Structure 1
């Protein structure tokens, strides 16, 4: 019997619906999120297939690709479709216009979606455990950097409210010297008491060179006359600034540890050599690209699919006599971000990439549009390298005759 299964997942439980080929509901269930619920789900599906060999072919729809249930289903060899919630909302309107919504109802919609339009959706790729580990580290590393930048912005905003002298002394708050001095002198009063000898000791601990002009600049900024908050308010601000400074230091350490773990994991992957051969792809960017593309060779059968997934391929909107091309908004934003920075770096690493960028700029593209077009070319050439298991060749990539530099030493 041909059946489809829909799962509406939640934090405390999952709702399941099983449909036959005619759209009739064969079973409904609410299962827990642990191993017991998974066993019950597998038993429920096994009851409605003719033999055990058909179980793996049952399409299962769910609105996420990161749930532990998804991991268990893929490990069991099941065919899982991660359906975009926006698509589910549109399919829900097929069954009624009242706007009602329920968890069991969404499970039914997911199962019916695969029953009628399975060919319009793609199952989750078969990503190796190694690539999944890289994906986890790459995403956590990127999230940690974003969080670090947000915290630094909070610290900068706080200093503007009571201690602008510190920003004049250290415009770059991410620098270890800035964080060390702020920890020692978190208020204007403490900054006024800071001596040249104490400052020199702090800078030396941060491995800054013995530059008298730097110490003089910092002391001049911290000792300059400035407006002050009331004493009690300034002390409160100082405690907050010191706390945020400690958080920034801890986050910087976490980012460094994640980057080291990511580099070590990525270097062991079989595709690392191909990715690193492309100019502009350093260990972090290459790992991010691999994390989002994955290592399933059947995932993207054409370069157009990969370009659309990355968001580098434009979208054409045509209606009547109106026709215009715009940037693609629905995409893998992490892969799109990695490709943007890859293109940005490549224009200084590759003569062919620079020539293509210059042509796009001469044709009227602004900077980001030219980079997006260049990224579209780069991702297509990388797809070819991955499909044919060959490293990057500059002459072939740009149809030019130049000496190909080693991207790891360029």
Structure 2
């Protein structure tokens, strides 16, 4: 293109009026839509239902107004899918940012769906160059993310119900607590199904307990004497008429935990199938101590859209592995970063917190980070964040190249190994 053509194109672009921009305040039943023109004047203010007809009407309103760019507070769901399929450029502005942006238009900062939609639309108009368009991961990654997060929610529900069962047993049957390693293990749930009351536990002799353990294929039936001694030494539970009544609560909790365990196992099987079929599986399964579920969680939360994280710093910042720095005059404060992707941070910290058990470089860095943290009065999670930041640089490089983590090519690891030799 010649200099004259470039100049002509720039002149035409400058004379063309900017297209209107839109903002949508997403809700479960209906959505507030606002459209502003190039001068920030609101030219449309509508409420549309969250139905197929409502979303079609929204698309017609946006198209008729000449909108090409739309802002929302969340980056998933039917509304986003519909906008992207219709060819709109979508920007995601976090709710905490919208809360601060309200101050532009008034000191009160009141929350209103229509007003938030207007703020979103006007922010695209004024701050377009600071916003990054939404980029989607592949359907395989989105599906894996849904499965991984569903498993995480079920695990949280299992932990909560296990705590509820433990509290129940403290009154009803204290001897069953710590009888086996985990309160929600298969052997504990089987024991509570067969012996839900103190009266039935009293019936047990060492021989009877050993016979029952054999029916459960317990790996250590020879430990019967110790298990029986634990039952007899524990505080006695509820007896009499109330024992049978309270046993119904125990049975309900046992049934709930049994179901949760089965569903978690089923999801883990799906996670393994989805992960091993994913093109990026080789990157994350090669990481030390990653396993299947941990590797799948890392992949699901980082995603497979390389343009989303053009630098390792962009990944470490969103994962909360770098501190937040505030400076005013001579005062400089370095503190914990709160505005992060919490799902991503959870996946990264979970991996980093266990990686030092299987990698000499990670163990050395974690040891030095803990010593430094103690010297400065920081806690143990601070050292984990330091290690996570270092790992994210390694992961980012492997992820960008689509290559497995190779300890032989990890120069920092080889330096530690050489020093220890």
Regarding TM over 0.5, the answer is: yes
Aligned to 2:28: 11
Give the 3 Å change call, closer, same or farther, for CA 8–205 of structure 1 in structure 2. Answer: farther
1:224 deviates by 4.2
Tell whether 2:201 aligns with 1:191: yes
Aligned counterpart, 1:373? 386
Distance 2:23 2:137 in 1: 22
The 5 Å alignment of 1:281-360 reads 281-360=290-369
- Closer, same or farther in 2 for the Cα pair 1:401/1:218, shift >3 Å? closer
Residues 106 and 401 of structure 1, relative CA distance in 2, 3 Å threshold: closer
Contact 1:280 1:343 in 2 (8 A): no
* 1-structure distance, mates of 2:122, 2:32: 14
Instruction: Judge conservation of contact 2:193–2:251 (CA < 8 Å) in 1.
Output: yes
Give the direction of change, closer, same or farther, for the CA distance of 1:226–1:286 in structure 2 (3 Å limit): closer
CA contact (8 A) 1:4 1:20 kept: yes
Structure 1 partner of 2:169: 159
**SS state at 1:101 partner:** coil
Task: State the number of aligned residues.
Answer: 396
What is the CA-CA distance between 1:386 and the residue it aligns to?
1.5
Distance, in Å, in 1 between the alignment partners of 2:127 and 2:193 is 59
Q: How does 1:390-409 map to 2 (within 5 A)?
A: 390-401=403-414
For 2:101 and 2:32, how far apart are their aligned partners in 1? 18
Could you say if the C-alpha distance between residues 259 and 329 of structure 1 is closer, same or farther in structure 2, counting changes exceeding 3 Å? same
Query: Does residue 22 of the first structure (1) align with residue 76 of the second (2)?
Result: no
Structure 1: distance between partners of 2:200 and 2:130? 65
Could you tell me how far apart the structure 2 residues matched to 1:319 and 1:360 are? 28
Partner of 1:134: 144
**Does the 8 Å contact 2:171/2:237 carry over to 1?**
no
* Cα separation, 2, equivalents of 1:344 and 1:118: 38
* TM-score of the pair, normalised by structure 2: 0.87
Aligned to 2:60: 43
User: Deviations for 1:3-32, whole angstroms, at most 9, x for unmatched residues?
Assistant: 111111222211111111111122222211
1:267 aligns with 2:276: yes
Q: Provide the C-alpha distance between the structure 2 equivalents of 1:100 and 1:354, rounded to a whole number of angstroms.
A: 50
**Structure 2: distance between partners of 1:228 and 1:260:** 39
**Deviation of residue 322 (structure 1)?**
3.2
For 2:248, the equivalent position in structure 1 comes to 239
Q: Give the corresponding residue for 1:219.
A: 228
After TM superposition, the structure 1 stretch with the greater mean CA deviation from structure 2, 193-202 or 107-116, is: 193-202
SS in 2 for 1:169: coil
Conservation of the 8 A alpha-carbon contact between 1:352 and 1:394: no
* Cα drift, residue 34 of structure 1: 1.7
TM-score, length of structure 1 as denominator length: 0.89
Q: Describe the shift of the 1:260–1:100 C-alpha distance in structure 2 as closer, same or farther (beyond 3 A).
A: same
CA contact (8 A) 2:33 2:117 kept: yes
Match of 2:8 in 1: none
Structure 1's unaligned 5+ residue stretches are 50-54, 405-410
Residues 206 and 376 of structure 1: CA distance in aligned 2, closer, same or farther (over 3 Å): farther
> Which of 73, 83, 96 is equivalent to 1:86?
96
